[in-house]
Copies of this chain bind each other. A is one copy, B any other.
Amino acid sequence: MDNDHKRSSLQSSRRGFLVAAGGAVAGGSLVARSASAAASVEAGPAPAQNKVEPFFGPHQGGIATAPTQIQTYFAAFDLQTDKLDDIVALLRRWTQTAARLASGGAAAGQPASVLAYDSGETLDLPASRLTITFGFGPTLFEKDGKDRYGLKSKRAEAFIDLPRFAGEQLVEGQTGGDISVQACSDDPQVAFHAVRQLAHVGEGFVSIRWAQSGFFANSAGKTPRNLMGFKDGTFNPPVSSPEAMEKFVWVGGEGPEWMRGGSYVVARRIRIALQHWDRMDLGFQQATIGRSKYSGAPLGAKNESDPFDFAAVDKDGNSVIPLNAHVRLAAPASNDGAQILRRGYSYNNGVSFTAERWPPWRQGIEYDAGTFFICYQRDPRTGFIKIFDTLSKIDALNQFATHVGSGIFACPPGAQPGGYIGDKLFA
């Protein structure tokens, strides 16, 4: 593997990095900006397109990065090698390449020589706040009962396979994977470009198993609405709070050393029966979610960030927020205080044939669109798995939402300059 040109390009792009960011690349500015966020930490004013997000640091980018970039490209790779050394070489190369890309390498102002190793479609574009987040799938540690790389003993206790959930209709080719790579950016071309460069330099070692692009609307400081028209992401652990992040997102002393400062990601492609949804009247939609569609306020409340009053009943004694409303079942109060950091996107794959799984069991060509749900957590057992176990059984939303793709990955802490992503796992 000839890494020389990558190493030198990495150095030159580090210079570009400092220039592009005006010198203010410290994590501190991130915190300062986030601290002013209101109820929704996902939203925020549109940042400058040329903003560079740091690649190296205690945590990987793309988890607490705020505001969430409006575009993503997520790919799950299968390993094609049986040698641990190859994985280490791959991750070293990927780390160098990712650092170059995040810094705006192969972006505006780069010399023509970048085309010796880069596909070039971002040459005229700014860094666009690109982050690249790597994760390791369960099959890296054990596949079909086999300890493929001698890593089985290092698997974290918390890193369990996702159980089978009620109602899910997972497509095998859109599920799982040995390594995940998620690129987030404010430009779709920059996000896809990043994964593509990594896939290219990894050729012979990895092949893409599944990939999905995602987006949300740039709603300029307001909580973005999902394709169901509802504000999505209102209550999230605030990324500006180190305490909340330690408690709910970052792996601490309970985990193996290689995961401390990392986080577990669960990605679910959730197809939404949008035609079916659009036929429902506003009251039914609001009862399904448990919020007012227009304001985002919990039913019975006034403002988006008002607390839920799950005990409230109307004059007939019925719950104001129905017992099977999505927000009730997903709320920390219904899950022993469990919280996950949702960082979801919408997806839009055109249309395809489908059979709806609820009355009136319509079949036909429908939107292959919905939510590309992505969440980060300190422990999936007490995070996504705990919360979604109940949801998958009785959430009113289930008649519109079907999980068709899935992945769980252990995202190690950020790399340090000179090191590489996941290096403590392979040390």
**Interface residues in chain A, defined as those with a beta carbon under 8 Å from any beta carbon in chain B:** 49, 73, 75, 112, 115-116, 119-125, 173, 187-190, 192, 196, 199-200, 203, 207-213, 215-220, 222, 224-230, 274-275, 277-279, 282, 293-295, 346, 348-351, 364-367, 369
**Docked-complex contact A278 and B123, CB < 8 angstroms:** no
With A282-B115, A346-B189, A348-B213: A294-B208 Cβ-Cβ less than 8 Å:
no
Which listed residue (B49, B215, B230, B365) contacts A189, Cβ 8 A? B215
Q: Please tell me which one of the listed residues B125, B188, B196, B274 contacts residue A196 in the complex, with CB atoms under 8 A apart.
A: B274
Could you tell me the distance between the alpha carbons of A332 and B380 in the complex, rounded to whole angstroms? 60
Contact indicator B294/A225 (Cβ below 8 Å): no
- Closest Cβ–Cβ distance, residue A295 to chain B (whole Å): 8
Query: In the complex the two chains form, is B225's CB within 8 Å of A124's CB?
Result: yes
Max chain B CB contacts within 10 Å: which of A112, A121, A207, A219?
A121
Say whether A275 contacts B199, CB under 8 Å.
Answer: yes
In the complex, A116→B115 CA distance in Å? 52
- Determine whether the beta carbon of B229 is less than 8 Å from that of A123: yes
Q: How far is the CA of A220 from the CA of B187 in the complex (A)?
A: 12
Interface contact B120-A293, CB-CB below 8 Å:
yes
Asked, given contacts A122-B217, A217-B190, whether A207 binds B278 with beta carbons under 8 Å apart, the answer is no
A121-B227, A226-B121 known; A218+B187 contact, CB < 8 A: yes
Known: A229-B123, A278-B200, A294-B112. A49 touches B209 (CB 8 A): no
A350 and B189: CB pair below 8 A? no
Q: A196-B278, A278-B119, A278-B200 are in contact. Are A349 and B349 (CB under 8 A)?
A: yes
The complex places the Cα of A122 from the Cα of B228 at a distance, in Å, of 10
- Measured between beta carbons, the chain B residues less than 8 angstroms from A226 are 121
Give this chain's copy count: 2
A199 to B275, CA, bound (A): 9
Given A122-B225, A189-B227, A349-B349, output 12 extra A-B contacts at Cβ < 8 Å: A120-B230, A120-B293, A121-B226, A122-B217, A124-B217, A124-B220, A125-B218, A173-B365, A187-B217, A189-B346, A192-B369, A208-B366
Question: Min CB distance, A17 to chain B, in Å?
Answer: 20
Query: Would you call B121 and A225 a contact (CB within 8 A)?
Result: yes
How far is A366 from B199 in the complex, measured between Cα atoms in Å? 11
- Contact with A351, one of B203, B210, B295, B367 (Cβ below 8 angstroms): B210
How distant is A130 from chain B, measured CB to nearest CB, in Å?
12
Name the distance in Å between A408's Cβ and chain B's nearest Cβ: 19
Set of chain B residues within 8 Å of A199, measured between Cβ atoms: 275
Residues of chain B with a CB closer than 8 A to A228's CB? 119, 121
User: With A and B bound together, what is the CA distance between A277 and B203 in angstroms?
Assistant: 13
Distance to closest chain B CB from A176 (angstroms) = 13
For A350, give its contact among B120, B188, B293, B349 (CB under 8 Å).
Answer: B349
What's the nearest-Cβ distance from chain B to residue A153, in Å? Answer: 31
**Would you call A294 and B348 a contact (CB within 8 A)?**
no
Chain B residues with Cβ under 8 A from A189's Cβ? 215-217, 225, 227, 346
What is the bound-complex CA distance between A229 and B118, given in angstroms? 9
Which residues of B sit under 8 angstroms from A124, Cβ to Cβ?
A: 217, 219-220, 222, 224-225
Would you give the shortest CB distance from A353 to chain B, in whole angstroms? 8
How far does the alpha carbon of A277 sit from the alpha carbon of B224 in the complex, in Å?
37
Does the CB pair A350–B210 fall under 8 Å? yes
Q: In the complex the two chains form, is B350's CB within 8 Å of A207's CB?
A: no
Q: What are 27 contact pairs spanning A and B, CB under 8 A? A: A73-B348, A112-B295, A115-B293, A116-B282, A119-B228, A119-B274, A120-B229, A124-B217, A124-B224, A187-B217, A188-B215, A188-B217, A189-B217, A189-B225, A189-B227, A192-B227, A196-B367, A203-B279, A207-B364, A208-B366, A208-B367, A209-B351, A210-B351, A211-B351, A211-B367, A213-B348, A349-B349
Please name all residues of chain B whose beta carbon is closer than 8 Å to the beta carbon of A120 when the two chains form the complex.
225, 229-230, 293-294
Residues of B within 8 A of A219 (CB): 124-125
Enumerate chain B residues within 8 angstroms of A278, measured Cβ to Cβ: 119, 196, 200
